[in-house]
């Protein structure tokens, strides 16, 4: 599955594994790639400055489904998933450079294996045995 497909198919869920009071802040942090502690601090500040936020939070607890990773383990590395959501262009750039590096290494290996030097090294190895 491509990263574009996984990004377009993402949905907002409450995170039951990292929940303190319903898992809404954990779900928001997962969805947007935010730090969970910062999200919780901002939610507490919003509760005290705007009491209507508390009603919104309670509505999210009641309306948004909860998901546990114990029931549905992720196949993608969570750190990669978080980095992709917070900075997709940088993450994809890092992946591109990694693949270019792997491609260069593979080209060197292929060049060596198809060379006469490889055959000569194999013959020397056979003589040692």
pTM over 0.75: no
User: pLDDT tens digits, residue range 60-92?
Assistant: 889 888 877 666 565 667 777 777 777 778 888
SS3 116: helix
Helices (H), 11-72: 24-32, 36-49, 52-63
Beta strands in 53-101 (DSSP E): 66-67
* Residue 71: predicted pLDDT: 61
pLDDT at 129 over 70: yes
The CA distance from 78 to 84, in Å, is 10
Using CB atoms within 10 A of its CB, is residue 43 exposed (0-12), middle (13-18) or buried (19+)?
middle
The CA distance from 113 to 44, in Å, is 62
pLDDT at 23 over 90: no
pLDDT at 43 over 60: yes
The CA distance from 120 to 75, in Å, is 44
In the structure, what pLDDT confidence band is assigned to residue 104 with cuts at 50, 70 and 90? very high
Q: Please tell me the least confidently modeled range out of 26-30, 81-85, 95-99, 103-107.
A: 81-85
């Amino acid at each position: 599955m491509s990263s574009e497909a996984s990004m377009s198919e993402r949905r907002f869920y409450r995170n039951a594994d990292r929940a303190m009071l319903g898992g809404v802040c954990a779900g928001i942090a997962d969805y947007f790639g935010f730090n969970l502690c910062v999200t919780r601090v901002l939610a507490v500040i919003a509760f005290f400055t705007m009491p209507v936020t508390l009603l919104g939070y309670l509505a999210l607890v009641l309306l948004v489904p909860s998901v546990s990773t114990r029931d549905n383990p992720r196949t993608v590395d969570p750190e990669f998933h978080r980095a992709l959501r917070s900075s997709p262009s940088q993450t994809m750039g890092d992946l591109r450079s990694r693949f270019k590096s792997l491609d260069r290494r593979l080209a060197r290996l292929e060049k060596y294996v198809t060379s006469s030097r490889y055959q000569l090294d194999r013959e020397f190895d056979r003589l040692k045995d």
